[in-house]
Amino acid sequence: MNVILFGPPGSGKGTQSQFIVERYAIPQISTGDMLRSAVKAKTPLGIIAKSIMDAGGLVSDDIVLGLVKDRVSQTDCASGFILDGFPRTIPQADALISLLDGIGKKIDFVISLEVDSKELICRLSGRRTCPVCGKGYHVIYNKPVQEGVCDSCSAALVQRDDDSELTVINRLNVYEEQTSSLKSYFNKSGVLYSVPGSGPINEIQAKISSILDSGVASDHS
């Protein structure tokens, strides 16, 4: 089962990916996480990506495609994967479809998480992440048991560099301008499923499960 989790910054792609990984035993492929690892390791790619990410822009299609191409061919993706944060442009989507076509695969579901922009800003400003295991939290909506400490590995939680207010606003604009049109792109292929992304995290999980389990959406856009 090959899934794209789609939605604007802060819509819950990472949060819901964690649950799909556990329930369906397929890996998450997050281009944002891969780029942040490259930035942290100060690789040549990471050095190029850092200033773009800090400003809330998109890293070039070529760089991102290179990352995804290697990843989907790995053996743990044989029975499926979740793409989180990719594709983000029409050329990325075209390249993905042709890449999968070449290895006899296709996208089965594009789950689009719908959340209004006021809520997105509030979510991103309160987000905290574990620098060790990558688990995500929110200071109000998704608190760790002990404030500021990861439940899984006890590391001190951090705030992402691109979660400052100005950068968040730019990321939301970039999403509207360059990424949101992918919804109609995937709708044309009949694989787009819109899910309201507001409300309790477990209720959103249940809606996603019902789509992935049955293949029949209650709200097929």
Task: Scan residues 4-33 and list those touching Mg ion (CB under 5 A).
Answer: 13-14
Select 133 or 215, whichever has its Cβ closest to ligand AP5: 133
Write out the two tokens for 161. 């560099």
Query: At its nearest, how many Å lie between ligand AP5 and the CB of residue 126?
Result: 6
Residue 9 interacts with, from Mg ion, ligand AP5, none (CB under 5-8 Å by kind): ligand AP5
Catalytic-residue membership of 123: no
Task: Scan residues 87-126 and list those touching ligand AP5 (CB under 6 A).
Answer: 88, 92, 123-124, 126
Does the protein bind ligand AP5 through residue 144 (CB under 6 A)?
no
**Catalytic (active-site) positions:** 13, 88, 127, 160, 171
Site residues for ligand AP5 per CB under 6 A:
7, 9-15, 31-32, 35, 52-53, 56-59, 64, 85-86, 88, 92, 123-124, 126-127, 136-138, 141-142, 162, 171, 199, 201, 204
